[in-house]
Amino acid sequence: MKIIMLGAPGAGKGTQAKRIAEEFGIPHISTGDIFRANIKEKTELGMEAKSYMDKGQLVPDELTVKILLDRVAKDDCKNGYVLDGYPRTIPQAEVLYDAVTKLDDKIDYAINVDVPDENIIDRMGGRRACVKCGATYHIKYNPPKKEDTCDICQSNLIIRDDDKPETVKNRLSVYHEQTQPLIEYYSKQGILKEVDGTQDIDVVFEDIKKILK
């Protein structure tokens, strides 16, 4: 069972990807993790990726797919995997499709965790993080006992730059322009499944399990 997770930043697709991986005993694969592992192990592909990253450039799609295919060729992926954070664009999806097809393989599901922009801005804008121990809270869904103070170490809570409304709006704008077209792309391939990501995370997961089972 080979799955691609889709959804806007803050939609909760990473959380669901991890739960799918645990439930079905397949690896959760994020391109960021693979890059870091290859660079740490100083593999040939990792060093090639690092040469782009050191210059502040994006790693080319062909190289990213090579690193991805190297990862999914490992034994723990023989029953499938969950891809989280890749592909992000139509060209990346096409390169991945060509590469997987050459191996006489295919992606089984593209699951889109659908959450409207206003919900995402509300979710991410309400996040608070502890400056000292890194604990995270949400002013509405998981508030600290005392306002702006960490329950664990009593340090101040802050809004991370990534969670500031203007940053979230910029990230959503990039998502709509570059990544959202993947929904139509995978719909045309007949593998798109959508779940309502505004529900409680346990309900979203139950909906995903119904699709996969």
**Which residues does residue 156 pair with via DSSP β-bridges, in sequence order?**
149
Please tell me which residue in 36, 78, 140, 160 is annotated as part of the active site.
160
Q: Look up residue 5 and give its DSSP letter.
A: E
Annotated active-site residue in 2, 13, 19, 128: 13
Identify whether 71 is a catalytic site residue. no
Say whether 19 is catalytic. Answer: no
**Among this protein's residues, is 171 annotated catalytic?**
yes
Catalytic position from the list 66, 71, 123, 127: 127
Element (H, E) at 131: none
Looking at this protein, which amino acid is placed at residue 142?
A: N
Question: What one-character-per-residue DSSP string does 25-88 give?
Answer: T--EEEHHHHHHHHHHTT-HHHHHHHHHHTTTPPPPHHHHHHHHHHHHTSGGGTT-EEEES---
Q: Is 127 in the active site?
A: yes
Question: Could you list the active site residues?
Answer: 13, 88, 127, 160, 171
